[in-house]
Amino acid sequence: MAERDQQALLMKEVQIRFDRKLKETEITLLEHWKDQIDRVVMMKPEGVAALQQQIKHISEMMANRIRILKREQ
């Protein structure tokens, strides 16, 4: 029974570490894309066309990252 308790504790610890790492990764990801958007805001592009171009660039960057991650699966 003690071995089962140890295994349960180990699994719980692994789950906690996994959840923590997942949250850290998500925070890093969100910070990256927030920085990208903040750069566009600070640029103060002249006109709608320039703003659309910057947003399109961010969208392409995100699509590229998604493609890379899907390829790694």
For the residues of 21-49, what is the DSSP string, one character each? HHHHHHHHHHHHHHHHHHHHHHH--SHHH
Model pLDDT for residues 2-14, shown as the tens digit of each residue: 888 899 999 999 9
Q: Is 65 helix (H, G, I), strand (E, B) or coil?
A: helix
Q: Is the dihedral of CA 63, 65, 70, 71 positive or negative?
A: positive
Contact by Cβ (8 Å): 62, 33:
yes
Residue type, 21: K
Express each pLDDT in 13-41 by its tens digit. Answer: 999 999 999 999 999 999 999 998 888 88
What would the mean pLDDT of 57-69 be, rounded to a whole number? Answer: 90
**0.85 exceeded by the pTM?**
no
- Helix axis angle for 47-72 and 2-43, nearest 10°, is 160
